[in-house]
Amino acid sequence: MNQYKLTKNACYLTGMTMAIAANLSPLLFLTFKDMYNLSYTLLGFLVVINFFTQLLIDLIFTFFTKYFHIHKAVRSTPLIIFIGLILYAVLPRLFPDMAFLWIVIGTVIFSVASGLSEVLMSPVIAAIPSENPEAEMSKLHSMYAWGVVGVVILSTLFLSVFGSTNWMYLALLWSVVPFIAFLMFLKAKLPQMDSFGGEQSQTKIFNKGIILCTLCIFFGGAAECTMSQWASGFIENAIGVPKVYGDVIGVALFAALLGTGRTLYSKCGKNIANILLFGMLGASICYFMASMSLSPVVGIIACALTGIFTAMLWPGTLIYVEEKFENVGVAIYALMAAGGDMGASVAPQLLGIVSDKFGLTNLALKISQMFHISTEQVSMRVGLFVAGLFPVAGVLCILCMKKYFKERGKIKLK
């Protein structure tokens, strides 16, 4: 409907701001290390803060949705990202002796907004009358992927031209995006949305069908985010491609294919259950190919192709939930976001742990001697192989989901 056109565009732009919040700090890690003498442990802590904050917001909205004014929360989400980015950029420059503290504070603030965006933008789009709601949901999530492409390429270009010491101006420039989204929401008409906060509905959130869908998005989030976070490092360290190409091929190309998959589904997609199954299978194959192939070309192609296979695993689960349940409210979207964020946190961390531990074993040394590669390359490949087990488990989960809903049909939640 034309009356909701501005609303949709504001949601899409807010979805793109999540890419800024999630990817800006990793692009600046080496800059922060050199300028503020930060350790890798402290830099990694910024990623933990980001995911933990988003997960906390997801859980709060899952259990306490009825205490929030949904429309006010929607309108304020991009404003919170804007404020977080301003503090993130300005305060470390003003108080360089406490730079890390201010970077953490800015990160927490815009991570809160990222969590709100995950929870709120999907139900807004779902509540807008549409002839093809699946396409609208897929388009919303494609905005994040295309946002990643833009953030990586434009930020790399900015830092190359103006120097990494001017990183704060880059953050200020990116803050314009959520501010525009905030202005759009001020004028946009928002649809009515069920907060789904009553006692009866909360007890029904945790039926078997919802649990299976939450597991599905957990495995989907694990499959997508493990590769998005580790592709650059894997291509550089395990395959031996220089870092600048690892960043472009590992992150930007992966994200471009992620966005392509979601855009294609928004244009002509259907049969979401089969798409989910196909995506999990394809992602599993890509993980195993990348981890086991000694060919750099095959490894790079497998990493990139994971983007198109994982494209619909997160948004597709939300579409599936809309298909299979009546009266889906904000609380269930929050629970789905929590499941996805949990997968996005657990799986990449597990890859790192497995890589560290396996690299110290005698088996890693024997394999490295056998194939004439370093133990670090062996350990990263083993870590990626283990990460490939998440989409394998996702395949089993989807088969259980299909069987469950085939027997019961559409379920009314209240």
Whichever domain contains 324, its CATH number is: 1.20.1250.20
Query: Residue 39 is part of which domain span?
Result: 1-193
Burial (Cβ within 10 Å: 0-12, 13-18, ≥19) of residue 138:
buried
Rounded mean pLDDT, 81-98: 92
Last residue of a domain, one of 193, 212, 229: 193
Q: Alpha-carbon distance 332 to 329, whole Å?
A: 6
What is the distance between the alpha carbons of residues 113 and 83, in angstroms, rounded to a whole number? 10
Q: Is the dihedral of CA 261, 267, 268, 273 positive or negative?
A: positive
Q: What pLDDT is recorded for position 297?
A: 86
Three-state SS string over 309-352 comes to HHCCHHHHHHHHHHHHEECCCHHHHHHHHHHHHHHHHHHHHHHH
Confidence grade of residue 203 (pLDDT, cut at 50, 70, 90) = very low
Taking 60 as the threshold, does the pLDDT of residue 195 lie above it?
no
136 and 44 in a common domain: yes
Domain shared by 384 and 239, yes or no: yes
Q: Are 224 and 313 in contact (CB under 8 A)?
A: yes
Cα separation, 84 vs 217, in Å, equals 28
How confident is the prediction for the chain on average, in pLDDT?
85
Q: Residue 208's pLDDT is what?
A: 87
Which of 153, 172, 193 delimits the end of a domain? 193
Burial of residue 376 (CB within 10 Å: 0-12, 13-18, 19+) is: middle
Amino acid at 243: K
Please tell me whether residues 392 and 268 are part of one structural domain.
yes
Q: What is the pLDDT of residue 197?
A: 44
User: What is the separation of C-alpha 228 from the centre of its chain, rounded to a whole number of angstroms?
Assistant: 8
Q: How confident is the model at residue 243 (pLDDT cuts 50, 70, 90)?
A: low
| Residues 173 and 217 placed together within one structural domain of the fold | no
Q: Are 156 and 106 in a shared domain?
A: yes
Shared domain for 22 and 54, answered yes or no, is yes
Cβ pair 317, 217 in contact under 8 A:
yes
CA distance 383 to 349: 10
Residues 201 and 235 in one domain: yes
Rg of the chain (C-alpha set)? 21
> pLDDT by residue (tens digit) across 317-352?
988 988 888 777 777 888 888 898 888 888 887 887
Among the residue ranges 15-29, 238-252, 285-299, 329-343, the one predicted with the least confidence is 238-252
Residue 399 CA: distances (Å) to CA of 241, 278, 396, 402: 38, 11, 5, 5
Q: Given this model, what pLDDT does residue 198 score?
A: 43
Of residues 413 and 395, more confidence is placed in 395
Minimum mean pLDDT range among 69-73, 228-232, 255-259, 313-317 = 228-232
Same domain, 242 and 381: yes
Query: Do residue 217 and residue 168 come from a single domain?
Result: no
Helix (H) or strand (E) holding 277: helix 272-292
Q: Are residues 185 and 231 in the same domain?
A: no
What one-character DSSP code corresponds to residue 28?
A: T
Question: Residues near 201 by Cβ (< 8 Å), separated by ≥ 6?
Answer: 327, 329, 331, 413, 414
For residue range 28-58, what is the model confidence (pLDDT) as tens digits?
877 888 888 877 567 767 777 887 888 888 8
Interatomic CA distance for residues 220 and 280, integer angstroms = 7
Q: What is the distance between the alpha carbons of residues 191 and 123, in angstroms, rounded to a whole number? A: 10
Q: Which of 193, 210, 245 finishes a domain? A: 193
Could you give the CA distance from residue 367 to residue 379 in angstroms, rounded to a whole number? 10
Distances in whole angstroms, Cα of residue 113 to Cα of each of 46, 57, 62, 74: 16, 9, 16, 10
Output 284-291 pairs: Cβ under 8 A, ≥24 positions apart: 284/388, 284/391, 284/392, 284/395, 286/227, 287/223, 287/227, 287/384, 287/385, 287/387, 287/388, 287/391, 288/385, 288/388, 290/234, 290/384, 291/381, 291/382, 291/384, 291/385, 291/388
Helix axis angle, 330-358 to 99-127, nearest 10°? 130
Tally the domains of the chain: 2
Confidence band, pLDDT 50/70/90 cuts, at residue 414 = low
- 170 and 262, same domain (yes or no): no
Helix (H, G, I), strand (E, B) or coil at 179: helix
226 shares a domain with 178:
no
